[in-house]
Amino acid sequence: MCDTFLRGPRGVITSPNYPVQYDNNAYCQWVITALNPAKVGQDGAGGTLVLFRDIWCFWGLMIIWGPWQVIKLTFEEFELERGYDTLTVGDGGQVGDQKSVLYVLTGTTVPDLIVSTQHQMWLLFQTDSVSNLLGFKASYEEIEQGSCGDPGVPAFGRREGSSFGHGDTLRFHCQPAFELKGQPSITCQKSSQWSAQKPVCVCK
């Protein structure tokens, strides 16, 4: 559904008509707000007062205890007309604010995990009047600030490490009949992004 204000802890966002092709001249926006009940309250005792704006231009206030929650966005499918149809992802609740843009996504490569730096994330989907492709499907989840989120375990492989905070390192190995393609270890950086994509295990 287009033009939606979403709240955590998790959910799914898809392009219009998914899994059927999206429409020409589409313009859809979403704002996701992390709302973990354990960290958001009604009074200011020990919390941080946060001002937010939703997609209908209404302003609101919430109290968040640190470390607050941020948004992790994981794509399952992604197929847009390269260079013409785009999905822009940004920090905060003001859709289209160029200063808060994290990524402008296009093409048919499934994007890496994206983690916001604030308790809100916005998405803006725009298409032209020519080609229509499958679109996208993404899941969102609120995670604790200072984390990169769980990148998962490669099929036919295993992982050493179960902490996903800044500075934590994960190591990957494959079953005997497979070899590792990609980085054997990845580290959670201060940008809340992993230093590399999760590797894959392929047949020898």
Same-domain pairing of 33 and 99: yes
User: Domain range for residue 19?
Assistant: 4-144
Same-domain pairing of 78 and 164: no
Q: What angle do CA 173, 116, 152 make, to 5 degrees?
A: 20
Query: What order do you get walking across the sheet with 101-105 strand by strand?
Result: 4-7, 27-33, 120-126, 86-91, 101-105
Same-domain pairing of 116 and 31: yes
- What are 62-107's pLDDT values in tens digits? 555 556 788 989 899 999 999 999 999 999 888 888 999 999 999 9
Same-domain pairing of 31 and 102: yes
The count of domains in the chain is 2
SS3 content of the chain, % helix, strand, coil (to 5): 0, 45, 50
- What are 101-155's pLDDT values in tens digits? 999 999 999 998 898 888 899 999 999 998 899 999 999 988 888 888 788 899 9
Boundary-marking domain end, from 102, 122, 144: 144
For the domain that residue 197 is a member of, what is the CATH number? 2.10.70.10
The length of the chain, given as a count of residues: 204
* Measured CA distances, 134 to 73, 108, 198 (Å): 19, 10, 25
Same-domain pairing of 194 and 139: no
